[in-house]
Amino acid sequence: MNGRIALMKLHLPLAWPAAPPSHAGVVLRPFRDSDAHLAAELTQDPYIRLISTIPVRPTAEEAMEWILHQNGRFTEGMGYSFAIADAATDRALGQIGMWLKAVETGRATAGYLVAPPARGRGVGAAALCALTAFAWTLPVLHRVELYIEPWNTGSIRTAEAAGYQREGLLRSHQSIGGERRDMLLYAAIRP
Ligand SMILES: CC(C)(COP(=O)(O)OP(=O)(O)OC[C@H]1O[C@@H](n2cnc3c(N)ncnc32)[C@H](O)[C@@H]1OP(=O)(O)O)[C@@H](O)C(=O)NCCC(=O)NCCS
């Protein structure tokens, strides 16, 4: 993944990172065809089935479409979708995104998914640290936000481990699985 995108509203060139962002044993890199296994692994989690666009029990073709869709996010100007890969083996363990809908205000939002077999060993927190450090290499960004359901202890602890602070509860913030859900707002600001 090379080159730059121009965000239409800003005429702002944003580059794909020259070196893959990394932290504590994980690297963030573009998706590859060989990551197709990840689509099926992620959808083992019923919550991921609710919040992601991956089809349940994806066929090989659907898994490839999902991978193409992730790499397309950058060229479409939506933001960065990275595969979270094991730095030693290069195996894809999850996905992390930084979305730039509000980039003209200096803000991005982030979201992350770790495959159930790879959980509980620091992958989510390391990926979020790597993503956040990368965010501060983009001069336009001053704030990265996370929206987390109050029951989601794993995501809350991941956010806090990466230095994000809780700023409040947004009541009835969005619809997930056909229900209005409250969301905790977490954020990191440019150091
Ligand atoms: C949330 C998620 C990304 C965590 O990934 P992970 O790689 O297992 O997280 P880590 O191993 O880096 O753990 C980070 C911290 O969270 C804690 N943690 C992780 N999962 C936990 C759980 N289910 N319950 C309690 N604590 C948990 C870890 O103990 C660690 O805490 P520490 O820093 O105090 O040691 C993963 O569970 C996931 O993909 N969940 C489904 C999708 C999701 O909810 N995404 C976030 C949407 S806002």
* The total number of residues written for the chain in this structure: 191
What is the arithmetic mean of pLDDT over 133-153?
97
Q: Which one is predicted more confidently, 9 or 160?
A: 160
Q: Which domains does the chain have, with CATH numbers?
A: 4-189 (3.40.630.30)
How does DSSP classify residue 12?
E
| Ligand 1 proximity of 176 Cβ (cutoff 6 Å) | no
Picking from 75, 19, 67, 14, the residue whose alpha carbon sits closest to that of residue 39 is 67
Select from 119, 123, 147 the residue to mutate for testing ligand 1; criterion: most ligand atoms less than 8 Å from CB. Answer: 119
Alpha carbon of 12 to ligand 1 centroid (Å): 34
| Ligand 1 proximity of 155 Cβ (cutoff 6 Å) | yes
- Single pTM value for the model: 0.95
The sheet with strand 26-29 has its strands ordered as 22-23, 26-29, 79-86, 92-99, 107-114, 143-148, 179-189, 165-176
- The average confidence (pLDDT) of the chain is 94
| Ligand 1 proximity of 157 Cβ (cutoff 6 Å) | yes
Interior angle at CA 19, CA 15 and CA 23, nearest 5: 115
Alpha carbon of 117 to ligand 1 centroid (Å): 12
What tens digit of pLDDT does each residue of 33-88 get? 999 999 999 999 999 999 999 998 999 999 999 999 999 999 898 999 999 999 99
Query: For residue 121, how many C-alpha atoms fall within 13 Å in the half-sphere facing its CB?
Result: 10
Alpha carbon of 152 to ligand 1 centroid (Å): 8
